[in-house]
Amino acid sequence: MTGDRAFVDIAVDVARFVKDKTYTLDLSIRDDLREVSKTVDIDGPHTAVTLEVEHPKLWWTHDLGEPHLYEITATLYADGQPVDRQCFRFGIRTLEVQQSDENGNPRFTFVLNGVKLFAKGANWIPVDSLIASAPDSRYHRLIEMAKAANMNMLRVWGGGIYEKDVFYETCDRLGILVWQDFMFACALYPDYNRNFMENVRKEITLTVKRLRNHPSLAIWCGNNENDWIYEVMKSSGEIAHPFYGEKIYHELIPALLEELDPTRLYWPSSPYGGNDHNSRDYGDSHNWQVWHGNVEPRKFGEPQRVDYSVSGVSFKNYKKDTAKFVSEFGMHAASNRYTLRKYIPENEFYWGSEEMAYRNKDAHHPKGLLLMEGYTGVPKNIDEYLAYSMLTQAEGLKYGVEHYRRNKPNTSGALIWQLNDCWPGTSWSLIDYHLLPKASYYYAKKFFHPLLLNIDHDPGQPVKVWVVNDRLAEYEDEIELAVYDFSGETVFSKRWTVRVPANAAAQIDEVPEAVALTGRDPREVFMVLRSTKGQANENYYYFRDHKDMRFPVPRLTVAVDRENRKVTVQTDVFARMVTIELDSDQLIFEDNFFDLMPGVSKTVRIDQADGRALPWETLRVTAVGSEPARMTFVEGC
């Protein structure tokens, strides 16, 4: 792009089987407002054409603007008769990755149309273990859910597949950037074998040509964790052989991209950069200190130490992370009850059964126990396991993402491992195999919101009030920090008038913990940070970990409006993580897994993605520690 003009370069390949004809090509670019066209003569197999678009309408991620798409049509004529036609949609935009700021400080920031963005999203894995069985609607639904959760980037993980066209077309249309790994992950590859390398050359060439026209495609990445794992294993003395595959990522792929797509950054591996491929100082990183217990930081040549303990795997370690861009981090949670019951025999559906263990997608099952032990306490039955694993994952990811977002612009991205699942069980996913969101998904809708009111607090320390504004306009508001006891009585409150610049994070104030508690037991009160004008989501916080809190046992009442597909929930005392369940797949809840104050009613609309009737007879509403709610069915309004 130059000023207010965009130059669209078009490469045309034509195979002419009849030579004694005159071939011409009509090219046009159009949207709802304009059309630019050109006719050229075809003299050989390859033709390059440039079309100029004045005052182009740019493609943006959905959180910054409109993901505007143009349509390009190429029609080939032989002696004036149309013989072939190609048509596809594309976007006009600029995109770069800034690797140092104006002062020379290391960064890893995606800059879209001149705007520095914080990449918010998740890793994408194959949508099913049997890929061909997945309909396009599964792709549409998952990517729409990512957008609804305020995500603006998905990373196609290198251990999966180069996705179907529908994936990239949907990301183009919905305004979601794609970090694209090449399909080399967690393994060695025979780069000494000539036939294998020729096969890789064809794979890369075909993939780049197929995907390079998508405006959503933001970056090419050579592999997932291969450079990091090899260096760690060699430093630990586990291996002594060469880095098989190195020629693929550091020679073959960059040479091909220089020819086929020089417009995008090529990143050799993920993670990569610094004095440790998983450095916090440069490039991108994978935070597996949480969950796996990796001890960070380390440097080249040092063994990877592991702290396999409650404190070692705790999500509280996220706050130590100063990474520039976190492209993987996460923790397990169970699938929803409906999904598990569908595949686990009734006599095995209990906490600790062999079948439940079989459906745990990690080789070291105690990691999840250690995380729950540190936050919720160890579950005693299946109901507690479902609740505690989801709550730990949700609160842990919230803790991490809010820290990373407060750290902008030093940190410029947080991509959770992982969005979706290809199998029913316990895994890192936010959405389970039957497209039922876990608690962490509903949390993500709030902690990824462009306007984030949040609190940074450790026991005994001041309550620090923060605002993160990812929008391109200044944020002006009045915000309130309120502390309540479990009966709903106000213990403390304070308000601030705030003005936060566009695309910035700011600490507003801090309140000493003793002042906020005003003599109350920290285990018997909670905090709410809110916009008094309703411009941002309310955010709930607790002075102590869940296992140390003295939550009351709530009595929930629910009014069910079947005609309008709504449920209204009320409680007599504070209710932690109100959970609405129905025996159906692909349910769309307006909200779920939410905290509820006494005296406040919450109405939630429920839909089914395929439009099927809801099985109201299976409705179950609970909170942590409560009995199922009492239901009242009402006539629709």
Q: How far apart are CA 577 and CA 550, in angstroms?
A: 14
Span(s) in the chain for CATH 2.60.40.10: 5-90, 453-548, 556-634
Q: What angle do CA 614, 619, 623 make, to 5 degrees?
A: 140
User: Which of these, 86, 95, 29, lies nearest to 61 by C-alpha position?
Assistant: 95
The yes-or-no answer on residue 225 being catalytic is: yes
Which pLDDT does position 633 carry in this prediction? 87
Asked whether 177 and 110 are in contact (CB, 8 A), the reply is yes
Indicate the burial class of 216 (C-beta count within 10 angstroms; 0-12, 13-18, 19 or more): buried
Asked whether 513 and 539 are in contact (CB, 8 A), the reply is no
Q: At residue 416, does pLDDT exceed 60? A: yes
Which pLDDT does position 630 carry in this prediction? 87
| pLDDT category of residue 216 using cuts at 50, 70 and 90 | very high
Q: At residue 637, does pLDDT exceed 60? A: no
CA-to-CA dists, residue 547 to 14, 33, 397, 457, 477, angstroms: 68, 59, 18, 17, 35
Q: How far apart are CA 114 and CA 94, in angstroms?
A: 7
Which pLDDT does position 475 carry in this prediction? 98
Span(s) in the chain for CATH 3.20.20.80: 95-306+317-331+412-443
User: Given 71, 163, 198, 225, which residue is catalytic?
Assistant: 225
Taking only the tens place, the pLDDT of each residue in 130-162 is: 999 999 999 999 999 999 999 999 999 999 999
The pLDDT of 63-74, averaged and rounded, is: 96
Q: How far apart are CA 65 and CA 57, in angstroms?
A: 11
| pLDDT category of residue 361 using cuts at 50, 70 and 90 | confident
> Residue 290, Cβ neighbours under 10 Å: how many?
25
Which pLDDT does position 636 carry in this prediction? 66
Spell out the residues 6+ positions from residue 484 whose beta carbon is closer than 8 angstroms to its own. Answer: 490, 491, 525, 526, 528, 574, 597
Q: How far apart are CA 70 and CA 56, in angstroms?
A: 10
Which pLDDT does position 47 carry in this prediction? 87
Q: At residue 235, does pLDDT exceed 80? A: yes
User: Residue 28: phi, psi to the nearest 5?
Assistant: -145, 145
CA-to-CA dists, residue 51 to 40, 119, 562, 621, angstroms: 11, 31, 55, 59
Tokens at residue 544, please? 């102590």
Side-chain-facing half-sphere of 446: CA atoms under 13 Å: 23
Helix (H) or strand (E) holding 230, with range, is helix 226-235
User: Residue 166: phi, psi to the nearest 5?
Assistant: -60, -30
Q: At residue 364, does pLDDT exceed 80? A: no
Q: How far apart are CA 165 and CA 104, in angstroms?
A: 39
Q: At residue 360, does pLDDT exceed 70? A: yes
Decide yes or no: CATH 2.130.10.10 for domain 556-634.
no
Q: At residue 16, does pLDDT exceed 90? A: no
Of 485 and 1, the structure prediction assigns the larger pLDDT to: 485
Which pLDDT does position 421 carry in this prediction? 97
CATH class of residue range 95-306+317-331+412-443: alpha beta
Helix (H) or strand (E) holding 40, with range, is strand 35-41
Q: How far apart are CA 509 and CA 466, in angstroms?
A: 7
Taking only the tens place, the pLDDT of each residue in 479-536 is: 999 999 999 999 999 999 999 999 999 999 999 999 999 999 999 999 999 999 999 9
Spell out the residues 6+ positions from residue 251 whose beta carbon is closer than 8 angstroms to its own. Answer: none
Q: How far apart are CA 545 and CA 238, in angstroms?
A: 39
Spell out the residues 6+ positions from residue 344 whose beta carbon is closer than 8 angstroms to its own. Answer: 353, 355, 356, 359
Give the three-state DSSP class for 360.
strand
* 3-state SS string for 462-476: CEEEEEEECCCCCEE
Taking only the tens place, the pLDDT of each residue in 42-58 is: 888 888 899 999 999 99
User: Residue 200: phi, psi to the nearest 5?
Assistant: -65, -40
Taking only the tens place, the pLDDT of each residue in 427-477 is: 999 999 999 999 999 999 999 999 999 999 999 999 999 999 999 999 999
Q: What distance lies between CA 225 and its chain's CA centroid?
A: 19
Which pLDDT does position 17 carry in this prediction? 82
Which pLDDT does position 380 carry in this prediction? 96
Fold (topology level) of 453-548? Immunoglobulin-like (2.60.40)
Which pLDDT does position 634 carry in this prediction? 86
Alpha-carbon dihedral sign for residues 253, 259, 262, 264: negative
Taking only the tens place, the pLDDT of each residue in 273-310 is: 999 999 999 999 999 999 999 999 999 999 999 999 99
Which pLDDT does position 54 carry in this prediction? 92
Average confidence score pLDDT of the chain = 96
Taking only the tens place, the pLDDT of each residue in 578-618 is: 999 999 999 999 999 999 999 999 999 999 999 999 999 99
The pLDDT of 371-399, averaged and rounded, is: 97
One DSSP character per residue, 310-355 reads: HHHH-GGGGGG---S-EEEE---BPPPHHHHHHHS-GGG-STT-HH
Place domain 5-90 in its CATH homologous superfamily.
Answer: Immunoglobulins (2.60.40.10)
CA dihedral 244→247→249→255, nearest 10 degrees, is: -170
Amino acid making up residue 546: H
Indicate the burial class of 102 (C-beta count within 10 angstroms; 0-12, 13-18, 19 or more): exposed
Residue 126, preceding bond cis, omega within 30 degrees? no
Which pLDDT does position 76 carry in this prediction? 92
> Residue 515, Cβ neighbours under 10 Å: how many?
13
